[in-house]
Structure formats: C-alpha cells, structure tokens
Amino acid sequence: MKLHYTKLGSGHPMLILHGLYGSGDNWLSVGKAIADMVEVYLPDLRNHGLSPHAEMMDYPSMAGDILELMDDLELEKAIILGHSMGGKTAMRFALENPGRVSRLIVADISPRNYLDGRQDDLHLKQHQQILSTLERIDPGLAKSIGDVDRIMEEGIPSRRLRQFLLKNLHKTNSGLYEWKLNREILRRSLSTLAGSIGDELIQGPPQKGYPILFIRGGNSNYMMDEDTQVIRKLFPLAQINTIKDAGHWLHAEQPELFIGMVRQFILEN
C-alpha cells in the first residue's frame, strides 16, 4: 500500500508512526523539533489520514506498508519511532526487518496482548464507544466542525479527546465535511489491534541488533511495570524511561521532555 506522508529536514532517515485515530500531522511539532538532526517522514497509516483504506487492518499488514514505503523511498535503514498502535507496528517491523532499523523508539505501549485484564477491558470498551459514536455521525449534514463537536459530546464527554478526533474531519471540494478515518474497519479491527504484535514474534529470539528506547507516561496505564518482562525478553538491551506527569499522549502532554529524550537518544546512539 502506498502511504501518504510528509517529509521534513535532512540527514539520516527517521519514520514516526502515529497511534489509533491519529495521522502524521499529529507529529508535525515533534518532527519539526528534530528535523535539524534527521530526515523525518510522517506517514499516515492505512485507514487513517490521507492514506488508502483497506479491509485488512493488522500489524503484519501495517509493518508491510512501512517496508514498502522504505523501499519506495530507497531508505536502506531508518530510525523508527512509534506511539501506541504505531509503536506496536514499529516493533513488528523491527523484529521482522532488523537489518532495516538503525534505532527503535517506542512510546507508551508494550508488545503484549491488551485483552487480558480488567484495565485492558476498559481500554477496549472506551475505543468501542468512541468508534460507535463516530459511526453514528454523518458530518456531511453539519454546517461546521462545532456542530459535529456538539453531536459527539453525548458519547465522548472529554473535550480534549473530541478535539483530537475532530482533526480527522476533512472538507471536500463541495464544501461538505467527511471523516478521513475508516470508522467501520477500525471498529471491526479493535480486538486485533488490542492484541499482541504477534505471538510467534513474542515467543521468538530476542533482538539485540540496534539501540532501543521505550518511553512511558508516568500517569499512563498502557505500559505497566509488569510489561518490562516481555519487553526485556524481546529487547534485552532496551532502555526504559518514564516521563512524570504524562499520560498516554505523553508527546502532547510533556512535549519538551519527550523531544529531549528522543534527541538525546539519537545523539548518544
């Protein structure tokens, strides 16, 4: 699949993979902050942003899209940074294609299965509620983004989350709004996306071929202390840092600290 992407800066290539409901544009500020060090590529993953829609939505497919993008751009090796769903995609890609990765950075996600516990059930139900709400909304009937926001409020009370989701609205040439997200496929794929990066990979040999950094949010429940066991099994040399007073969207909540950690890791490795 040919992914849409934005390119910034020059130097050694670096790909930043966004999370669920996101797009490459969500990472523009981070990309601009490190574009003096590396050549940054901000792709929209399949069924997101301006990239094509597809029935298949799983980590092998998304990792394959990244490989195709690197091949098309003739990038022999790249730094791969991924957040949440993008972090799982990054880990899958790195384990399958170790020779194409110079460094790996994973933001607030573990390679494990997220369908195993009470907190994980809450995450899944939250995502089901979000996508059910989005599926009920026809933005083509709205006169403004504010109209869509007011309709969303009943199912999604968090204003911050609504503002993030509203970035997925696109105004067509006819002046009507439409969703860039493939809402139906994402809803149908939630259990797959909440699963592990691949049991065959988790049970496979460890990867020691490139420097690895995990950055977790101190207030997040997506990457717990017990997750270090599976992380160390797969990536025994991984460095694990915590950003205090940051939740799952740590790059948006503590951007200076997050960018500082990324820059330092690139400089030292």
∠ at Cα 23 (52, 267), nearest 5°? Answer: 125
What are the φ/ψ torsions at residue 255 (nearest 5 degrees)?
A: -60, -40
Measured distance between the N- and C-terminal CA atoms of the chain, rounded to whole angstroms = 31
The verdict on 162 and 94 lying in the same domain is no
Domain range enclosing 27: 5-112+196-268
pLDDT at position 193, please? 95
**Closest to 72 measured CA to CA, from 43, 50, 46, 30:** 43
Query: Of the candidates 131, 163, 190, which is a domain's last residue?
Result: 190
**Closest to 178 measured CA to CA, from 147, 144, 138:** 138
pLDDT at position 242, please? 97
Gap between the Cα atoms of 83 and 17, Å rounded: 6
Query: Of the candidates 149, 166, 190, which is a domain's last residue?
Result: 190
Could you tell me the pTM of the whole model? 0.95
The verdict on 163 and 223 lying in the same domain is no
Q: Write out the two tokens for 58.
A: 């799983």
| Three-state secondary-structure class, residue 61 | helix
pLDDT at position 117, please? 65
Number of H helices, E strands in the chain: 12, 9
Contact 220, 108 (CB under 8 A): yes
The verdict on 177 and 200 lying in the same domain is no
**Closest to 80 measured CA to CA, from 44, 111, 107, 53:** 107
What are the φ/ψ torsions at residue 166 (nearest 5 degrees)?
A: -65, -15
The verdict on 264 and 200 lying in the same domain is yes
Residues of the chain with pLDDT under 70: 117-120
By annotation, the residues acting in catalysis are 84, 184, 248
pLDDT at position 180, please? 94
**Closest to 168 measured CA to CA, from 255, 53, 58:** 53
pLDDT at position 120, please? 66
Gap between the Cα atoms of 266 and 179, Å rounded: 36
CATH number of the domain bearing residue 259: 3.40.50.1820
Gap between the Cα atoms of 134 and 42, Å rounded: 25
What are the residues facing 13 on neighbouring strands?
39
Q: Give percent above pLDDT 70 in the chain.
A: 99
Give the count of domains, the chain. 2
Gap between the Cα atoms of 11 and 267, Å rounded: 13
In whole angstroms, what separates CA 175 from the centre of its chain?
Answer: 30
The verdict on 240 and 180 lying in the same domain is no
pLDDT at position 184, please? 93
Burial of 97 (0-12, 13-18, 19+ CB in 10 A): middle
